[in-house]
Structure 1
Amino acid sequence: MPTTHYHDAYEILYLVSGELYYFIEDRTYQIVGGVILFINVYDLHRLVNVHNTKYERVTLLFKREFLHDLFVDSSLPPGVLSCFQSETNTIKLNGPDQIFIENLFSKMIHEDTQKPPGYDVYRKLLLMELLIFIQRKNLSGHHEHLVQPNRTHKKISQITHFINGNFTKPLSLEYMADKFSISSSHLSRTFKDTTGFTFIEYVNNTRLKAARSLLQDSTLTVSEIAEHTGFGNLTHFGRVFKAMTGTSPLKYRKQYLANGEFNSPQN
């Protein structure tokens, strides 16, 4: 998985076996075999496997438009994507449900790789079956909050939550360490172990997400966007933006406006 990772698609991850940590926005999840994890569009996330343990997973990404032609007016059934806005982000499945889900994923993989007649429609029907299954599980209360209760992880969660709400301000490792009563060296090491990002990577990516949105949807100048998103000056903004996207902020905006959309490299 790339060092920095978010995308314009919904993601469903199912851990078949093993144990992992997943960092999503400002939370760390400890997941084990039989857990389904839901990641919303543009949520910053990272798989964290500090000890390089073996695991098996299935990852499914899809865009909302993929399902549109199943319905006359292109609108999905109410609540079918609610799992991506849930505060828990996870469902722990029992044995029979694990077998059902693994069979469903096996069918999806078969349709995608073999492409038998009608595979495109059947893939969509299988995805709808999965989403309805998940919706029913959520409504029946068969989910559990899997945020790691470790005190260190709670501290990092507090710090990332603060960054998400204050990224427009000057933020340094030393400032955050002092604010949250932790040494700079310990914060630096623990932040990377817990989230998979260095402190500055996380801050820059949080700012970058906001900058991309403003480049697409506002009339602010590039210089104003640099200031509004906490980068401080245009030179620093341009350098970080190009390093992470492969293009300059101005070119990004021009390409977006020219195409109506912009499919940039995943970061």
Structure 2
Amino acid sequence: MEFYEASRFYIDRERKKRSSMPSRHYHNGYEIFYLVSGDICYFIGDRAYQAVSGALFVIDMNEIHKLVNAGGASFERVTLEFKKEFLDDLFAGGMPVDVMSVFSRGLPFIKLSVQERGLVERLFDHMIREFTEKPEGYESCLKTLLYQLLLLIRRKTNAVSGEQPLVHSVRNKTFEIVDYINRHYQDKLTIADMARRYGISPSYFCKTFRQSTGYTFTEYVNHVRIKEAKGLLMTGNDKVAAVAGQVGFESLTHFGRVFKEVTGMSPLKYRRQYCSIRGGLPGSTS
């Protein structure tokens, strides 16, 4: 078990195959961990949690934890670390809502809806830009964004029953199914076909998939496809219709609707906003 000195505030987003902190460890700060893609096992205290993309963890100060990527496939995550004093001067009279209580409720795993995941990812993206580029007033902006994130988490934990997706002693097929979706998201994927592939009934497939991941099957497939589409829109020149086809949507209208549900904006607006931040549009914006 190792101790690490926490940063006053730190955030980064990285794709990797193994954790940079493989041993059980703790630190004198608070941590928020968000799994952008992949599937992992997260040990917090004496409990283990099965997580796929979209999972959000809040880890209390001095809480022992460890990430395990048993499958060895790459995963992408956002790690946010801060000390309480970073937020102490945000409000002159103290915090109007005790958002720090989210770390002491014994609910480290937060299940988010598709819309909530879109909001959380936008907050993370904004924080990463502020932290990396450090424009005028960036620290005040970071404090405001962090408070918004913690308030969202507090409201969510106020509403949940406390059900947590613990890893069972007998490993189920969920990780195998998730891996298949991550590799074949561009194909036509149906519940009936997936249930047949893994030798279980469609109803049991739907029930266990949601219990294990926090997603319905359709939500997870759409989440993976939109994540890939965002990358194509940001880095490529293909038209939106072509991007929709590349990530597995048969209808441009359906793609646009799902993309807006997840990100809060249309694919074209997302491309323009991202490229304007980086000083120019790719060759085609339609």
TM-score bin, normalised by smaller chain:
0.5 to 0.7
Specify every segment of 5 or more residues in structure 1 that has no aligned partner in the other structure, as ranges.
Answer: 153-267
The answer as to whether partners of 1:15 and 1:57 remain within 8 angstroms in 2 is yes
Aligned partner letter, 2:100 = L
- Give the secondary-structure state (helix, strand or coil) at the position aligned to 1:71: coil
Distance 1:20 1:62, change over 3 A: same
- Give the secondary-structure state (helix, strand or coil) at the position aligned to 1:70: coil
Q: Specify the alignment match of 2:122 in structure 1.
A: 103
Runs of 4 or more consecutive aligned structure 1 residues displaced over 3 Å after TM superposition? 75-79
Shift of 1:69: 0.9
More helix by share: 1
The answer as to whether partners of 1:91 and 1:144 remain within 8 angstroms in 2 is no
1:210-232 deviations in whole A, cap 9, x for unaligned? xxxxxxxxxxxxxxxxxxxxxxx
* Cα distance between partner residues in 1 of 2:34 and 2:66: 15
Q: TM-score, normalised by structure 2?
A: 0.50
- Give the secondary-structure state (helix, strand or coil) at the position aligned to 2:149: helix
2:148 is the alignment partner of 1:148: no
Q: RMSD of the alignment, in Å? A: 1.8
Alignment of 1:70-219 (within 5 A): 70-73=90-93, 75-141=94-160, 144-150=163-169
Q: Specify the alignment match of 1:250 in structure 2.
A: none
1:178-213 deviations in whole A, cap 9, x for unaligned? xxxxxxxxxxxxxxxxxxxxxxxxxxxxxxxxxxxx
* Cα distance between partner residues in 2 of 1:13 and 1:87: 16
Shift of 1:51: 2.0
1:127-153 deviations in whole A, cap 9, x for unaligned? 00000111111112276412213258x
* Cα distance between partner residues in 1 of 2:27 and 2:101: 18
Q: TM-score, normalised by structure 1?
A: 0.53
Distance 1:39 1:16, change over 3 A: same
Alignment of 1:228-243 (within 5 A): none
Specify every segment of 5 or more residues in structure 2 that has no aligned partner in the other structure, as ranges.
Answer: 1-19, 172-286
Shift of 1:95: 1.4
Q: Specify the alignment match of 2:205 in structure 1.
A: none
* Cα distance between partner residues in 1 of 2:64 and 2:78: 19
The answer as to whether partners of 2:29 and 2:62 remain within 8 angstroms in 1 is yes
* Cα distance between partner residues in 1 of 2:161 and 2:79: 21
Q: Specify the alignment match of 2:38 in structure 1.
A: 18
- Aligned identity (percent) is 43
* Cα distance between partner residues in 2 of 1:105 and 1:142: 26
* Cα distance between partner residues in 1 of 2:128 and 2:145: 11
The answer as to whether partners of 1:12 and 1:60 remain within 8 angstroms in 2 is yes
Q: Which has the higher contact order (CA 8 A, sep 6+)?
A: 1
Which of 62, 69, 74 is the equivalent residue of 2:89?
A: 69
Distance 1:142 1:56, change over 3 A: farther
- Give the secondary-structure state (helix, strand or coil) at the position aligned to 2:78: strand
Which of 27, 35, 43 is the equivalent residue of 2:55?
A: 35
Aligned residues: 151
Shift of 1:4: 3.5
- Give the secondary-structure state (helix, strand or coil) at the position aligned to 2:27: coil
2:86 is the alignment partner of 1:52: no
The answer as to whether partners of 2:107 and 2:157 remain within 8 angstroms in 1 is no
Shift of 1:77: 3.7
